[in-house]
A = this chain, B = another copy of it.
Amino acid sequence: MLGVVVRKKPSLPEGAAEKLAAQGVATVHEAQGRSVGLMKPYMRPIYPGAAIAGPAVTVLAQPGDNWMLHVAVEQCSPGDILVVGCTTENADGMFGELLATSLRARGVRGLIIDAGVRDVAALTEMRFPVWSKAINARGTVKATIGSVNVPIVCAGALVHPGDAIVADDDGVAIVPNAQVSAVIQKADKRIQEEESKRARLAAGELGLDIYQMRPKLEAAGLRYVDSLDGLKD
């Protein structure tokens, strides 16, 4: 569906964005059951250390054409994260300092774009975080319309407007809007469980023992030997 701008999107529960940003991508992804909700690892931050979360404003754009990003700015509210997918693979520099200035003026927390970005020195200096497929000075046209706030596939992951986006040095995760509270809870539980494990591992205890893996490994046929010599297969 091209050529549609949807003006409304669901919001996140109070405090959810801050909580998810603190929990981080890896933990949130695990809390979701590890099967879906993660963008492909080619999505990388333009500078290290940023960690954000917020509801997605989505854009479906034509390759080499950033017209719809200008349209999308108007649909953004404070705390939002702009998420841009293309109708086809493209690495052109669809986004730069001017659009970042505009997004910042509206309180947008960052950009996720399955394409290229430019002016990265300026973006880094103004600390506007971007996760992208490429850094590319290649400019774009403004000739063909796309859509804003429709469901998109971005970097291999399905994103609906209002889904929670979580992004840090490990990549970009998506939590469906309706599951945000449940995922936060599970992630908290996971963090608590890891805490005690971290202490035991730091003290030299083995994961083999903490997670009681030895019987299962034995059942799976794992053999311990001093040398490969004499092994048949």
Contact = CB atoms under 8 A, between A and B. Distances in A.
Contacts of A79: none
B233 A26 contact: no
A204 interface: yes
Interface string A59-99: 01011110100110110000000000001111111001111
Interface of A: 1-8, 24-26, 29-30, 33-36, 38, 40-41, 44, 48-49, 51, 60, 62-65, 67, 70-71, 73-74, 87-93, 96-99, 101-102, 104-106, 116, 118-121, 124, 134-139, 141-147, 150-151, 153, 156-158, 168-171, 173, 179, 182, 194, 197-198, 201-204, 206-208, 211, 213, 217, 220-228, 231-233
Given A38-B137, A74-B208, A87-B35, A6 B98 contact: no
A222 B70 contact: no
A106 B208 CA distance: 14
B153 A35 contact: no
A207 B96 CA distance: 13
A38 B206 contact: no
Contacts of A35: 1-2, 60, 87, 146-147
A157 B168 contact: no
A215 to B, nearest CB: 13
Contacts of A92: 63, 88
A61 B1 CA distance: 25
Contact of A62 (B3, B24, B64, B137): B64
A168 to B, nearest CB: 7
Given A3-B223, A63-B63, A71-B213, 9 more contacts: A8-B227, A24-B119, A26-B118, A41-B116, A64-B65, A70-B213, A105-B201, A135-B169, A182-B233
A51 B64 CA distance: 25
18 contacts: A1-B35, A4-B223, A6-B227, A36-B87, A38-B137, A41-B137, A62-B141, A63-B90, A70-B213, A98-B194, A102-B202, A120-B170, A136-B171, A141-B143, A141-B144, A142-B211, A153-B153, A153-B157
